[in-house]
Structure 1
Amino acid sequence: MAACKLNRCAWVSDDPLYQRYHDEVWGRPEREDDALFAKLCLDGQQAGLSWITILRKQKHYEDAFCQFNAKSIVTMPEEERARLIQNSGIIRNKLKINSIFKNAEAYLAIKEQGSFTDFIWQFTDGKTVINHWKTQQEVPVSTAASKNMAKALKKAGFTFVGETICYAFMQAVGMVNDHTTDCHCYADVCKEAIR
């Protein structure tokens, strides 16, 4: 008897890493400051690439950027920063590498004022937006909320945070539930939604 194939969102390939990410992480609410910072940095690295490319390199990014500890990132010695362009485990793009340093500074500045979680989640009023998309074609690439988030993050000093990247980030950290209604994760993610 053939194994039952789970119905997933159309963007997920047969790659087990991608499937695990979709099933266990994507769309599940994240409310921890450092985890949100790490995810925002990784989403910025995705610009112009597929998410699976970054997902495969995530461990290398964590090792290269001090497990995304912002204080350690901003105090990284110049020689170490300069060597990152030779690190084949990450995307060797100078602007993208430098963005993580800029983002760490901006993140720490926000943290001095309060919670980064509150700063990020304000764009959905602290709640998960539960969508009811039947097909992948219905899912937007940006929204008014992601445009507002991008604007606020840029003003705060972040880079690689355009409205499309911000919307992908919002989907990933459970600010919106964009699993299609036929996806096996949809109901569970609805239950985990912050209301």
Structure 2
Amino acid sequence: MSESGVVLGDDGLARPAWASVDPLLRDYYDTEWGVPVRDERGVFERLSLEAFQSGLSWATILRKRPAFREAFADFSPDVVAGFGDDDVARLMDDAGIVRNRAKVHATIQNARATLGLREDPEGDLAAYVWSFRPATTPVPRTQADVPTTSPESLALSKGLKRKGFTFVGPTTMFALMEAIGIVDTHLVGSHRRATSGVWPDQK
């Protein structure tokens, strides 16, 4: 790894160490992480998966993502909001996903809260989450420079909790903001830095 914190891949592209070995993580980094997501279903899916990831590796969640999508009706908030006890039992028997009862219940609760947000003057889930975009984004040169929370992620966490969401702590919300492009924490030397269109001048 260079002093810049990035690793040069065999394809000549620079990435952080965490995205340089596992092909699954490398593809996710190159094609998804930090790419803007502005639709309700997409934000709900990522919010849900970030909650399931708590205490686990992101690679574990990515490998299980197809099973998660099947189990949770492709993360349709309208469908998941209607899940009942039989669905919880089904999910707890599904070895393809992370079988954590509290997180399963949180996903159902968050789907119901997502439907409630549609009536909010601040907009649906996607609009609400994006309303916490900061005025500036971090400019990390090494992984140690990447923050794990921010004033905006703390405010988003508090705001979502007030609106009935759970498993939305400030660290989880910062990870969500990174994943959907609200902040750009790609390392300065990475080939993905400032490519989202949200922060074009932050190289």
TM-score, normalising length from structure 1? 0.91
Quote the Cα distance in structure 2 between the aligned partners of 1:72 and 1:58.
18
Structure-to-structure mapping, 1:9-158, within 5 angstroms = 9-113=16-120, 114-124=123-133, 129-158=136-165
Shift of 1:194: 6.0
**Gapped runs of 5+ residues in structure 1?**
none
Give the match for residue 4 of structure 2. none
Following superposition, the deviation at residue 124 of structure 1 comes to 1.3
Retained in 2: the 8 A contact 1:132–1:180? yes
User: Contact 1:180/1:186 (CA < 8 Å) preserved in 2?
Assistant: yes
| Cα displacement string for residues 122-151 of structure 1 (whole angstroms, at most 9, x for unaligned residues) | 1116x7x43321101000010101000111
**Does structure 1 retain, via aligned residues, the 8 Å contact 2:83–2:108?**
no
| Match in the other structure for 1:165 | 172
Partner Cα distance (2:184, 2:84) in 1:
40
Query: For the Cα contact (< 8 Å) 1:12–1:19, is it kept in 2?
Result: yes
Distance 2:161 2:155 in 1: 10
Deviation for aligned residue 1:31: 1.0
- SS of the residue corresponding to residue 76 of structure 1 reads coil
After superposition, the CA RMSD in angstroms is 1.8
Residue-pair matches, total: 190
Pairwise CA distance, 1:15: 1.3
Paired residues of 1:29 and 1:194 also in contact (CA < 8 A): no
Identity in percent: 36
Asked if 2 retains the 8 angstrom alpha-carbon contact of 1:71 and 1:108, the reply is yes
**AA partner of residue 25 (structure 1):** E
What CA distance in whole angstroms lies between the structure 1 residues aligned with 2:155 and 2:128? 12
C-alpha displacement of 1:5 = 4.0
Q: Is the 8 A contact 1:11 1:136 kept in 2?
A: no
TM-score with structure 2 setting the length: 0.87
Letter in 2 for 1:115: D
User: In the alignment, is the contact (CA less than 8 A) between 2:51 and 2:103 conserved in 1?
Assistant: yes
Change (3 A) 1:9 1:118: same
User: C-alpha distance in 2, partners of 1:45/1:11?
Assistant: 19
Q: Aligned partners of 1:80, 1:27: CA distance in 2, in Å?
A: 32
Provide structure 2 residue ranges, at least 5 long, that are not aligned to the other structure.
1-8
1:28, 1:193 within 8 Å by CA — same for their partners in 2?
no
**Residue 44 of structure 1 aligns to which amino acid in structure 2?**
A
- Please give the secondary structure, in 1, of the residue aligned with 2:167: coil
SS where residue 174 of structure 2 aligns? helix
Letter in 1 for 2:132: F
